[in-house]
Amino acid sequence: MRVFLALVLICFATLGGAAQAGTAGGKIVHVGTTSNNVLLFRIAGGVDTNRPACAVTLRYAVDKDSVHAPVILTAFATGKELGTVAGTGNCTFMSNSEDLQFIEVCPLNGCS
């Protein structure tokens, strides 16, 4: 029984969640679109962590109709500072850009 429990614990330990990929801080410095309705953007001045190997352009990608699209465009147009930007760790929208999971735009008094 102990061996079984040890094996179960080992399995759960190895199945633990992957590290969150993303960027902390910075501003959106590039926005682009594709013919297949994908909005692409790049952040400068932030700190990248755990970006997947497929994201060779260091861009993020999101469907143009997602809830993220107006937030991205507004942050770009106003030059707002970003808080945390998290990716999914996958590049399914574009093979060279990480899919966006979460984006935080800082308030006027900055991110804390």
Could you give the CA distance from residue 70 to residue 75 in angstroms, rounded to a whole number?
8
What's the pLDDT at 23? Answer: 78
Q: What CATH number was assigned to the domain covering residues 18-105?
A: 2.40.50
Task: Give pLDDT tens digits for 66-109.
Answer: 999 999 999 999 999 999 999 999 999 999 999 999 999 998 88
CB 39 within 8 A of CB 61: yes
Alpha helices in the chain (DSSP H): 2-14, 68-78
Domain boundaries, the chain: 18-105
pTM: 0.79
State the Cα–Cα distance between residues 91 and 68, nearest whole angstrom.
Answer: 16
For the chain, the residue count is 112
